[in-house]
A = this chain, B = another copy of it.
């Protein structure tokens, strides 16, 4: 179906939300806080103008259901929560693009299948460090025991705080019951990276979310006097780490993934002593599980070579890992066609950051679209996207949703 969105209404909603819950310091919609409730209040006001049923599930996700001719459901949405001092678009763009999409559908009468908007609870994990909270209850990838005792900076427990917002962790798994009848999920988000902007594009289809391998790597050599130890007998852990950082980058380039050494710490860390130990953090990402595994295997070999070349040893400790989550090929194809039709260019890219769509993709055919991000900046008050790009992205998103509704309505 053709959904005749008016993107200016979505942009007006986004500006009104920013006025209400942001300011010169950026967005303040941190989940499980009064500012987040205020943002949800604003969302409920907008939804109150539409013929939808609004309620909150056992995991704290807000749903707005527009009944269709058939019970099978297309879900659209994102998250209204933000990081502290965040941007005005991260999450909110997807929410108000979905509101505008619902609004435009409702203006034409009853859709051929049911369409539900979802506002996921605590996508960011900004207060307790557990991101994708609401969507993880739907996919079953979270357990009450794992998160109940997480504490925020003030020492408050997650279990107590979410209870104040109506979420009983022991009942949260029941939220997955909402998935009955759900046939697709579609989300619009800002890219949070520089790829679309540098290609001169407003919008692109998203292929899936990167798998991640994150390790702490410790190179150990021999601390010794910087003045009295000749170069040939040194066992310098920082030089081993330096060789490795360059090799890990080369590996990522070779496999067309990404790899980042984000931190380095030397012991003892003074100018007069050769670093006896250097610990680094490595983050590797790829959309293909096999390529990611190869990047990791080659990085391990590079670390062994770098350590051996400098007379050092090396130890790895895995900090975190998630597999790549590819989106649905048919929906990706539909999104690419929509980008072509609306923006004149067919472009698809992987997502480096995680999104609730990654959890949803475990359950139902899923796709995302990205709008460009000015200077690639996100999670900062400077986050922005040209309005013309926002409007093109909202149009391409609505067109993709229309295609998904047609598919679901056709069974």
Contacts and interface: CB of A to CB of B under 8 A. Distances in A.
B353 A233 contact: no
A226 to B, nearest CB: 4
A230 interface: yes
Contact of A272 (B231, B245, B274, B283): B283
Contacts of A263: 266, 269-271, 275
A270 B281 contact: yes
Given A198-B233, A228-B351, A353-B225, A262 B270 contact: yes
Nearest to A227: B352
A242 interface: yes
Contacts of A354: 227
- Most chain-B CB neighbours within 10 Å: which of A264, A275, A377? A264
Contacts of A270: 262-263, 281
A261 interface: yes
Interface in A204-257: 210, 212, 214, 224-233, 236, 238-239, 241-243, 245-246, 249, 252-253
Contacts of A353: 225, 227-228
B264 A238 contact: yes
B271 A226 contact: no
A249 B231 contact: yes
B376 A225 contact: yes
Contacts of A144: none
A351 B228 CA distance: 6
The 3 lowest CB-CB distance pairs between A and B, nearest first, are: A227-B352, A193-B228, A228-B352
13 contacts: A194-B229, A224-B376, A225-B376, A227-B353, A238-B245, A238-B262, A260-B271, A262-B272, A263-B271, A263-B275, A264-B266, A271-B282, A271-B283
